[in-house]
Structure 1
Amino acid sequence: MTSLLDRLASLPLFGLIRDGGWTMWLIAALSVITLAIVLWRLLALWRLGVWGGRHARRALQLWSAGRTAEAIAAVRGRPSARARVAQAAIGTALDPRFDEAAAREETARVARGTLYRAREGLRALELIATIAPLLGLLGTVLGMIAAFQVLQSSGNQADPAALAGGIWVALLTTAAGMAVAIPAGVALSWFESIADRLQADLEDLATRIFVAAPTAPVPLREAAA
């Protein structure tokens, strides 16, 4: 364990973090959290099937053609977000217990749950993109204060090289904060664009299913026959 710590301490990046003070350690922690959130969201979105939609489009084609049994079978049990909303819309449209308003409300409930899962973690990315540069600026301000305190206490014997070194280390935290905030902001915008696209697709899918719904609800047992 001691040798591992010694190796870490010898790394240039570790030295920069150590020299930058406690704000640099916070920024380094935020960078790790940002990476973890991005990887988690990629895995969650893949499991949610936000990049899919083939089965939902197929179900919509069958539904529009009046082939209700095949339409519900095309999305039954499918894990993708669009397929789940399509199944909810078709299922409630075929269920005589639901009038159109209730069917739309139930479909909207399923869509809201799906969109919530698609947007999880985005507030954390937004917070990191906001506070990381502020932490960097705070570290710079504290470092500059310390550097000028040393200058004041040194009087006429102040070493310009030491002062420049202290200012350089202080400015390092601002650069580190921006280096964390920029990727976090880019990831946030990308994930938000995915969620917005998914919301538009779900709304369009549900509307087209209800517009093409049969005038009289078909019992689910008959549709599955």
Structure 2
Amino acid sequence: MLHMVEAAGWPIWPLILCSIVALAVIFERLASLRRARILPPKLLDEALNVSAKQLPAPDVIDKLERNSPLGAVLASGFRSVARPHASAVGLQEDLENAGRHQVYRLQKYLNALATVASAAPLLGLLGTVVGMIEIFGSQSTAGTDPTVLAHGISVALYNTALGLIVAVPSLIFYRYFRSRVDDYTVELEQAARRLDTHLQSYLPRR
């Protein structure tokens, strides 16, 4: 690895930085976007059962909010109907706002991963251009300098290869994470609708 870095020259350092960022984001998102952490099984059913006859106590709602993104959406609905002047419109708005906030949190760092996927091939191309410049610089009236020629070829090839090695997994994981976030978004919306229907009985009759 050290030999490759030395052979690739200075253009490889931005690519190494990109690879570190991509790996950090991938491992962080793999841990954060686990289904059990986002949508705990049976949490919605338990919340509906607990609130079948009366609203949960404030401390229970606070605990629910800290449980997971789904819990935070459900807690926003309970808090909305507990207000003195609760309304169906207000309940819907509170659920939508809580859902948008949680989706925004689920998308955390994904733009950074997309940026790495887009920038890595360009940085690899930059290394290729630098290598080509060195190759042309090896030509002189006295002949070709083999050392400079070999170094220029190394710079061009190593940077191109590493750029693709960083970009392809980054793009694959970005698409994978976006797909998971989209699936979670739909399920959060469905849970919010079920809670909205369930809490209508707690709203004052007009």
For 1:51 and 1:108, how far apart are their aligned partners in 2? Answer: 17
Q: Which residue matches 1:203?
A: 189
Q: Which ranges in structure 2 are unaligned for 5 or more consecutive residues?
A: none
Q: Given residue 176 of structure 2, which amino acid in structure 1 is its aligned partner?
A: W
Change in Cα spacing, 1:92 to 1:49, as seen in structure 2 (3 Å) is same
In 2, are the aligned partners of 1:72 and 1:87 still within 8 Å (CA)?
no
Deviations 1:91-135 (A, max 9, x none): 424545221111111111111221111111111111100000100
Deviations 1:67-93 (A, max 9, x none): 244x847x7313111122122224424
For 1:117 and 1:103, how far apart are their aligned partners in 2? Answer: 21
Deviations 1:156-186 (A, max 9, x none): x336797466324411101101111111112
Q: Which residue matches 2:15?
A: 27
**Is 1:49 the equivalent of 2:37?**
yes
Q: Which residue matches 1:111?
A: 99
Cα RMSD of the aligned pairs, angstroms, is 2.8
Q: Which residue matches 1:67?
A: 52
Q: Which residue matches 1:221?
A: none
Corresponding residue to 2:174 among 182, 185, 188: 188
Q: Which ranges in structure 1 are unaligned for 5 or more consecutive residues?
A: 1-12, 219-225
What's the TM-score once normalised by structure 1's chain length? 0.76
For 2:46 and 2:202, how far apart are their aligned partners in 1? Answer: 22
Q: Which residue matches 1:153?
A: 140
In 1, are the aligned partners of 2:77 and 2:195 still within 8 Å (CA)?
yes
Change in Cα spacing, 1:57 to 1:154, as seen in structure 2 (3 Å) is farther
Q: Given residue 116 of structure 1, which amino acid in structure 2 is its aligned partner?
A: Y
1:93-172 alignment runs, 5 A limit: 93=81, 95-150=83-138, 152-153=139-140, 157-158=143-144, 163=149, 166-172=152-158
Q: Given residue 67 of structure 1, which amino acid in structure 2 is its aligned partner?
A: A
Distance apart, 1:15 and its partner CA: 1.5
Runs of 4+ in 1 over 4 A off after TM superposition: 159-162
Change in Cα spacing, 1:154 to 1:93, as seen in structure 2 (3 Å) is farther
Change in Cα spacing, 1:115 to 1:190, as seen in structure 2 (3 Å) is same
What's the TM-score once normalised by structure 2's chain length? 0.82
In 2, are the aligned partners of 1:82 and 1:202 still within 8 Å (CA)?
yes
Deviations 1:15-57 (A, max 9, x none): 2112212210110111111111222333444599215242124
Q: Given residue 160 of structure 2, which amino acid in structure 1 is its aligned partner?
A: T
Number of equivalences? 199
SS in 2 for 1:213: helix
For 1:147 and 1:83, how far apart are their aligned partners in 2? Answer: 60
